[in-house]
Chain A
Amino acid sequence: MNGDNSPTNLQDVWQTQPQSSFELSPEKLHCLRKKLRRALLIRDGTAWLVCVFEIFWFAWALVWLPQPFIRFASALVILGMAYLSGQIWLDQRSRTASRIRAEASGNVNSLDFFRSELERQREFHRGAWFWSRLAALTPGLLVFGIGGIVLYPWPDSLVGWSITGVTVLVVPLAIWMNLKNSKAYQRQIDRLDSLRESPPETN
């Protein structure tokens, strides 16, 4: 290797590197835009379908299982899932809109764009979104599980024990993991904010 690998020369090496050119025709761009919209629709639809499937499953329990305890629990879960479906729809709509706006806008500088992405992810893990999801789903699952334990003798109560056990274990774990993630996002946001305002330290 020759000796001149100074940063300035590296800029030359970088800018003169061999590469193929790339350009999209207007027709191809229109086609890509349609494809992107279709992909977003499919993604949103998939999340919705999962919720609808869950609602139907518990609706079956509500209609066909005789015990009022279980039917009450099923109704709670259905309400929770319906709420969750609405939240998913609202969240994905705003996320898609903000992503399309921000990505396609040269008015948003990189720091603001990156910060808004981190904020959105932080809120997913700790904001009203997260707590309302827990509040919507946990009571129904717990009542469903405890109902199964109280009403059925062993081993028929296995389903009830499983649902209760998983809920009791998963909820605290989910809270812990989500708060941990939200703190990590907050640390990144704080670092970004310091880049915007504070004077740099010189070594």
Chain B
Amino acid sequence: MPTTDNVQDDLYRDAVASYGAALVRLARAWEADPDARKDLLQEMHLALWRSFRTFDARCSLRTWVYRVAHNAATSHVLRSRRRRSIPLVSIEEIEQEGGLASENPDARSVEQAQILDRLYALIQRLNPLDRQVILLYLEGVDAAAIGEVTGISPGYVATKIHRIKNILADQFHNGGDHERR
């Protein structure tokens, strides 16, 4: 059912209040370049605002927000990949090659910043769907909801989360002392 402009604006404000921080994290995970990231964040917000014209509450607000944001980001990545020829891989390929070595050996001394840098570097190598699964997992979304957002069967979501946990444990356990190149 179409909504009025005011309802559309209110829904947008509610969504930003609840998921604005997650959108900023998603944008950073989808786009490494700071300028392009600002564009992506704007695209996500614009898509979200437009989407609320047709929001019918058949799914939860969270599912709706993540779907719109991820679809906008997928479009962005496919466009920028054509421009930059970035090869994207799957979770399974990263698991096989033994994870990801830090791309920045002079990383900031703050422990959390180091961990986040490596997490972002890992995520930015993944193909769009696997990127969505790992991001939703990190956001604390449960497997059933990840399946609802992505459309991936629950069995595959469970397998991918299992692999993500393996990769994360392998990469970050004991401070990542066993980085491999």
Q: Is the CB of A17 within 8 A of B20?
A: no
Q: Do A17 and B55 touch (CB < 8 A)?
A: no
- Taking a contact as CB atoms under 8 Å apart, the answer to whether B24 and A105 are in contact is no
Name the distance in Å between A96's Cβ and chain B's nearest Cβ.
Answer: 12
* Contact (Cβ within 8 A) A24 B132: no
A10 at the interface (CB under 8 A from B): yes
CB-contact partner of A106 in B41, B64, B116, under 8 A: B64
B74 to A, closest residue via Cβ: A114
Which residue of B50, B148, B173 is within 8 Å of A5 (Cβ)? B173
Report the interface size for chain B: residues with CB under 8 A from the other chain: 68
B25 to chain A, nearest CB (A): 7
Binary contact readout B109-123 vs A (1 if CB under 8 angstroms, 0 otherwise): 001101110010000
Give the interface centre of B63, B67, B137 by most chain A CB atoms within 10 Å.
Answer: B67
**CB-nearest residue of chain B to A24:** B45
With A22-B20, A106-B67, A106-B68 as known contacts, state yes or no: A14 contacts B150, CB within 8 Å.
no
CB of A180 closer than 8 Å to a CB of B: no
Inter-subunit contact B151/A110 (CB<8 Å): yes
Give the complex CA separation of A144 and B139 in angstroms: 61
Q: Which residue from chain B places its CB closest to the CB of A14 in the assembled complex?
A: B138
Which residue of A5, A106, A111 is within 8 Å of B55 (Cβ)? A106
Docked complex Cα distance between A26 and B65 (Å)? 18
Q: Is the CB of B71 within 8 A of A110?
A: yes
Cβ B25 vs Cβ A14 within 8 A = yes
Q: Is the CB of A104 within 8 A of B153?
A: no
Residues from chain A with a CB closer than 8 A to the CB of B78 are 117, 121
A106 in contact with B128 (CB, 8 Å): no
Partner of B164, one of A6, A7, A36, A197: A7
Nearest residue, chain B, Cβ from A120:
B78
A183 within 8 Å of B (CB atoms):
no
- Contact status B112-A200, CB under 8 Å: no
- Which A residue's beta carbon lies closest to that of B140? A11
Interface string of A1-34 (1 = CB under 8 A from B): 1110111001101110101111110100100110
Among A26, A36, A103, contact of B68 (Cβ-Cβ < 8 Å):
A103
Q: Which residue of A lies closest to B6 (CB)?
A: A26
Give A185-203 interface residues, CB cut-off 8 Å to B.
192, 195-202
Q: Which of B45-60 contact A (CB under 8 A)?
A: 45-47, 49-51, 53-55, 58-59
Interface flag for B178 (CB, 8 Å): no
Closest Cβ neighbor of B112 among chain A residues: A13
Nearest B residue (CB) for A36: B46
CB distance from B179 to the nearest CB of A (A): 12
Q: Quick one: given A19-B21, A22-B20, are A110 and B174 in contact (CB under 8 Å)?
A: no
Assess the A103–B138 pair: CB atoms within 8 A. no
Report A's interface with B, CB cutoff 8 A.
1-3, 5-7, 10-11, 13-15, 17, 19-24, 26, 29, 32-33, 36, 99-100, 102-114, 117, 121, 192, 195-202
Given contacts A110-B150, A200-B156, 8 further A-B contacts (CB under 8 A): A2-B111, A10-B172, A11-B140, A14-B25, A110-B149, A199-B153, A199-B155, A201-B159
| Interchain residue pairs with CB less than 8 A apart (13) | A7-B165, A10-B115, A11-B139, A24-B49, A102-B71, A103-B47, A106-B65, A106-B67, A106-B68, A107-B54, A107-B58, A196-B153, A201-B159
